[in-house]
C-alpha cells in the first residue's frame, strides 16, 4: 500500500507544480529560519563552553593561615563533589603573577607584599554555571581561614541569562514557525484533496477505507515537510560556508541536530496533512 500512496503523492505534486513550488518555498523559509536560530544557539553554547573552561573560584586566605593549614583547607575543599582541583598560591607567587600582569614598575612602588595567599579552585565541567558557582563560593567563604571569595559572578550570571534568553527565543520561534508550517501543509493538502475529490468519491463507492484514501495525502504532506527541511538545511550549509570564510571557528549543526530538523519537518508535514483530512476524509 505504501508504494501506491507514494506514487499517488508524487503524481499529485507533479500535477500541481505551482502550488507545490510555492508550498515548498514557504516551508523551506520556515525551516531555514528555525535552523538559523538553532545554529546561533549552538555557536553561543560553544563560546560559553570555552568561557566556562576558565571559570574558577579564588579563595583569599587570612594572613594568619600558614602553608600547612592552607593545604589542609585545600584538601577539605577538594572533597566537595563539585570541585575538580585545588591549587595553593602563596604570597610570593601572587606577587610574581601581579608583576607579570602589570609590569615590574608596579612592583617597585610596593614596600611590602600586600597580596594574600589564596586557593584556586577549578570546578567540575557540569558545575561551571552561575547557580553552582555561587552556591559553592558561599560554602567555601564560610570556611575558617577564608577571608574573601571571588568567582566572576556578575559576568557568569549574564552569560547564563543570555543562553536562557536565546534558548527561549529559539523555542518560541520554533513554535511560531511550526504552526505556520502546519498551516501551509494543511492548506496545500486541502487544495490537493479538492482537486482529486471526484477520484476520492469513486474510491469510496468501490469500498476504499478511510485509511486507504488518506494515505497518499499523508505521504504528500510528509514529502513537503521533508523537502522543506532538506532545502532549509541546504541553505544553512551555504550560509555557513560563506560566514566561515569571515568568522573563524563558526560551528554548524551536529548530525543528530540535522536529522532532528529533517524529522521535525516530516512530523509537521504529517500533522498538517492530518489536520486537513480530519474533516474531509
Structural domain contains residue 26: yes
Structural domain contains residue 157: no
Residue range 249-274: mean pLDDT, rounded: 90
Structural domain contains residue 6: yes
Tell me the residue range of the domain where 243 lies.
2-50+162-277
Q: Final residue of a domain: which of 151, 173, 208?
A: 151
Both 113 and 134 in one domain: the answer is: yes
Structural domain contains residue 266: yes
CA atoms within 13 A of residue 156's CA, in its CB half-sphere: 18
Q: Final residue of a domain: which of 118, 151, 184?
A: 151
Give pLDDT, residue 159: 80
Structural domain contains residue 25: yes
The answer to whether residue 185 scores a pLDDT higher than 70 is yes
Q: Which residue has the higher pLDDT, 70 or 92?
A: 70
Give pLDDT, residue 231: 94
Structural domain contains residue 37: yes
Give pLDDT, residue 104: 55
pTM value is 0.72
The answer to whether residue 214 scores a pLDDT higher than 80 is no
| Helix (H/G/I), strand (E/B), else coil: 102 | helix
| Helix (H/G/I), strand (E/B), else coil: 71 | helix
Both 43 and 170 in one domain: the answer is: yes
Q: What is the pLDDT of residues 93-148, one digit of tens each?
A: 776 766 666 555 545 555 666 678 888 888 888 888 888 888 888 888 888 888 88
Q: What is the pLDDT of residues 57-74, one digit of tens each?
A: 888 888 888 888 888 888
The answer to whether residue 4 scores a pLDDT higher than 80 is no
| Helix (H/G/I), strand (E/B), else coil: 85 | strand
Q: Final residue of a domain: which of 106, 126, 151?
A: 151
Residue entry with cell 500535477: 15
Amino acid at each position: 500500500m505504501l508504494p501506491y500512496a507514494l506514487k499517488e503523492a508524487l503524481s499529485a505534486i507533479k500535477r500541481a507544480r505551482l502550488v507545490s513550488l510555492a508550498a515548498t518555498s514557504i516551508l523551506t523559509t520556515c525551516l531555514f529560519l528555525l535552523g538559523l536560530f538553532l545554529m546561533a544557539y549552538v555557536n553561543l553554547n560553544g563560546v560559553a563552553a570555552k568561557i566556562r573552561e576558565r571559570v574558577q573560584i579564588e579563595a583569599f586566605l587570612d594572613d594568619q593561615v600558614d602553608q600547612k593549614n592552607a593545604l589542609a583547607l585545600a584538601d577539605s575543599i577538594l572533597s566537595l563533589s563539585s570541585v575538580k582541583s585545588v591549587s595553593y598560591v602563596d604570597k610570593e607567587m601572587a606577587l610574581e603573577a601581579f608583576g607579570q600582569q602589570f609590569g615590574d614598575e608596579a612592583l617597585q612602588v610596593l614596600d611590602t607584599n600586600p597580596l594574600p595567599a589564596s586557593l584556586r579552585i577549578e570546578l567540575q565541567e557540569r558545575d561551571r554555571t552561575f547557580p553552582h558557582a555561587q552556591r559553592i563560593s558561599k560554602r567555601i567563604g564560610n570556611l575558617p581561614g577564608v577571608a574573601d571569595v571571588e568567582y566572576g559572578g556578575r559576568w557568569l550570571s549574564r552569560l547564563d541569562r543570555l543562553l536562557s534568553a536565546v534558548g527561549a527565543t529559539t523555542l518560541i520561534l520554533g513554535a511560531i514557525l511550526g504552526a505556520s508550517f502546519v498551516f501551509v501543509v494543511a492548506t496545500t493538502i486541502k487544495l490537493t484533496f479538492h482537486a482529486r475529490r471526484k477520484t476520492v468519491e469513486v474510491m469510496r463507492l468501490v469500498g476504499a477505507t478511510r485509511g486507504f484514501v488518506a494515505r497518499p495525502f499523508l505521504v504528500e504532506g510528509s514529502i513537503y515537510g521533508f523537502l522543506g527541511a532538506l532545502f532549509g538545511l541546504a541553505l544553512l550549509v551555504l550560509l555557513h560556508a560563506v560566514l566561515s570564510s569571515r568568522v573563524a571557528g563558526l560551528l554548524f549543526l551536529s548530525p543528530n541536530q540535522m536529522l532532528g530538523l529533517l524529522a521535525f519537518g516530516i512530523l509537521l508535514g504529517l500533522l498538517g496533512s492530518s489536520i486537513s483530512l480530519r474533516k474531509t476524509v
